[in-house]
Structure 1
Amino acid sequence: MRFEDELLGHLPRLRRFAHALARSAADADDLLQASVERALMKRDRWEPGTRLDSWMYRLMRNLWIDTVRAETRRGETFLPPEAGEAVGTAGSQEMAVELGKVAQAMHTLPPEQREAVALVVIEGFAYKEAAEILDIPIGTLTSRLVRGREALMMRLGEAA
């Protein structure tokens, strides 16, 4: 049986599982769609002869955990949307200068470090998510991030 055909046969059960995890119909449908998309992209990681349904449940559960963690982190890290309405309108000149220094320091980083810092520090992605976005191992992302942060602190420390 083809991978896609077998996957289609599991959709009703996967949808129920998504609803059990997400508790919201819209979130469950998004989770199911993301899980199917990820499965199709990573089908080469599934070993034929093993249970596709178990692989899909694990994939879906991991995706849900990543989603919950990202939402939790965004809630803890970022201000509500209303707080951004005044950004750039009445800021102090000192703040503008500091932001300019950070932007200049970011531009001096090698592209690999700049990407890692931007995804993790600025955008708030988990290391795993950022590594997937960049299609690199998590260890590589971590080393780029460490080197990028150190270089930024050194450059910004020198600028002070």
Structure 2
Amino acid sequence: MTTELTLLLPALRRFAYSLTGNMADADDLLQSTVVKLLDSPPAADVPLLQWSFRVCRNLWIDDYRAKKVRQHTALDEAAELSGEDGEQVAINEITLTEVNQAMNNLPGEQREVLSLVAVQGMSYSEAAGVLAIPQGTIMSRLARARVAMVDALKYSGVLA
């Protein structure tokens, strides 16, 4: 299981980031998820991928309820870009910030579905398995999330 879990870490980290909107909080959530997975591994017949996303989501919900909403956002990725001119880095950072803000303004249910399907590349049925909800609910939440994202990005000027 340890090897399989190691291979899942990048996807889990992206998912944690999409939930928290902050790399420091995402890394904390990832660490808590890994500890929980190692302490309580899934049953042999449960896919580790689905189990790990579910554990991560549940830990985030617990933290979300305990602390309400974390409003501060840090985007260190733009600073890590190399070989681009300063203007392009600034444009990328502004765009990432606006997309992140638009995603953070989504209800949690829509944000997690958008993250699983659009960011993680899961199918509707895989996302439904991770979240333990019907596939139709996934499709409905995803459609609402996409409309909200387009509206928010049009309003902010990212999309024409």
Under a length normalisation based on structure 1, what TM-score does the superposition of the two structures give? 0.46
Under a length normalisation based on structure 2, what TM-score does the superposition of the two structures give? 0.46
Return the structure number with greater relative CO, CA threshold 8 A, min gap 6: 2
